[in-house]
Chain A
Amino acid sequence: MIGPLIPMGVIPETWNNVIALLLGVGFGFALEASGFSSSRKIMGTFFGYDFVVLRVFFTAAITAMTGIFYFDYMGWMDMSMLYINPYYVMSAIIGGIIMGFGFALGGFCPGTSFTGIAIGKIDAMVFSGGLFIGVFIFSELYPLFQGLYNSGNMGAAKIYDLLGMRETVFAFLLIVAAVGMFYGAAFVEKKVKKVEY
């Protein structure tokens, strides 16, 4: 079966929501079991006392990336059919900075806050409530942000094209960088005073 299965018509669209639910269960389980339902565990990455976020995030990214490249190489999946978020330069950077600010205050990101809710974290519930307010504010003030939001559209740009690299070279360097960070994280964790949480 050549993927992606739903766009290729292998699995009918009617199964879409059931599949969404099942994949979501896997996503939520992996996040919670790794400790992402705790804001203080998440924030450990920024203070150096617990690098769980860095480890899980980059391991997940390179695992999925490797799988996609491998399946594409073997002809089991057509990578060109995968959805690529369009790159709007300024909007992506400013959005990322605002989210980082929110991360430092809230200690969660949207996905992790949902797993916090699942185990009864009241701070996660309040954070998620804030998400709705934030999206509402953005939508209502959209005329003000419209120019920025739509500026600098580079379409479905790939990072290796922007850097003028072959995709496999970039993928390899990303894996090397991730492994380097894992060693760095272990080194820093030993030096930093433990925080009880």
Chain B
Amino acid sequence: MEKMKRDGTFYINPYLGGVLLGLVLFGTYYITGRGLGASGAVKSSVVSAVHTVAPVHAEENKYYSKFLSDDASPMSNWLVFEVIGVIVGGFLSGTLYGRLKFKVEHSPKITGKTRLIAALAGGILFGVGSQFARGCTSGAALSGMAVLSASGIITMMAIFGSAYLFSWIFKKLWI
């Protein structure tokens, strides 16, 4: 193994990282018959929160009601537990490599405030887009690619193509 620094600058080899991630994804399909995900957990939480605050509204809304069933709370969704695991796994890795620190990471060309406004806007757009595409980079694109689904490959190309174009338009936010 390469010499490991604990000052936060060490990352594993990206191909090793890819194989690890690929094995986790493969294991997920082998065990559960479905892929990994991330935005689905957010959706479950939103559905659950709205259903708690305004049960009638949630039941009447055609979108929330798709995900409400009588026998299980939407929070008991598989993806919610998986995402809790993601945070735990990220924390373990961050601890191991010395990266735990509260900070706003941003380009020297912009202020922390600008970064946070852009991050909020980006999150909102990603939230909206992931509902249209029935999944995000994890659930639609990556998991879809592993089983060669049309939706996975098309969504992946749309995400990366669009991100490439827009990142040059908003270049100042990054470099």
Give chain A's interface residues, CB within 8 Å of chain B: 3-7, 11, 16-35, 37-41, 43, 46-47, 49, 51-52, 55-65, 67-68, 71, 77, 79, 81-89, 91-124, 126-140, 142-143, 145-146, 148-149, 154, 156-162, 167, 170-171, 174, 182, 195, 197
Contacts and interface: CB of A to CB of B under 8 A. Distances in A.
A144 to B, nearest CB: 11
- Helix, strand, loop or mixed for chain B's interface? helix
Nearest to B78: A20
Contact of A158 (B42, B46, B127, B149): B149
Contact of A86 (B23, B138, B151): B151
A6 B166 CA distance: 41
B46 to A, nearest CB: 5
Contacts, number: 543
Interface in B80-131: 80-94, 96-97, 99-107, 115-116, 118-131
B13 to A, nearest CB: 9
B123 A104 contact: no
B59 to A, nearest CB: 13
A36 to B, nearest CB: 8
Given A97-B162, A109-B137, A110-B39, A127 B122 contact: yes
Contacts of A34: 11-12, 14, 17-18, 21
